[in-house]
C-alpha cells in the first residue's frame, strides 16, 4: 500500500500507536486488537455500542 507510512504517521499523531487495527467506537479510540478484546471481555464494547453517538 503506497499510503501505508502516511497512514501510520496519522495514526501515531491521533492515538500514540502506529499499528493496525485501530479500533474506534463513536469517535472514541479503543486501541488495537488486544485492547479491543480486553474491552469486549469486560463489557465495555457492548456499553459503548449501546450509547448514542
Structural domain contains residue 14? no
pLDDT of residue 32: 94
The residues, any chain, with a CB within 8 Å of residue 43's CB and separated by 6 or more, are: none
Task: Please say if the pLDDT value at position 43 is more than 90.
Answer: yes
What burial letters (b/e) apply to 5-17, b meaning 16+ CB within 10 Å? eeeeeebeeeeee
Structural domain contains residue 8? no
Q: Distance between CA atoms of 25 and 32, rounded to whole angstroms?
A: 12
Structural domain contains residue 2? no
Structural domain contains residue 13? no
pLDDT of residue 19: 83
pLDDT tens sequence across 1-19: 788 889 889 999 999 988 8
Q: How many independent structural domains does the chain possess?
A: 1
pLDDT tens sequence across 19-34: 889 999 999 999 999 9
pLDDT of residue 4: 85
- Mean pLDDT across 30-48: 97
Amino acid at each position: 500500500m503506497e499510503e501505508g507510512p502516511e497512514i501510520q504517521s496519522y495514526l501515531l499523531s491521533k492515538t500514540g500507536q502506529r499499528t493496525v487495527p485501530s479500533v474506534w467506537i463513536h469517535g472514541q479510540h479503543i486501541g488495537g486488537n488486544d485492547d479491543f478484546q480486553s474491552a469486549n471481555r469486560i463489557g465495555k464494547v457492548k456499553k459503548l455500542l449501546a450509547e448514542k453517538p
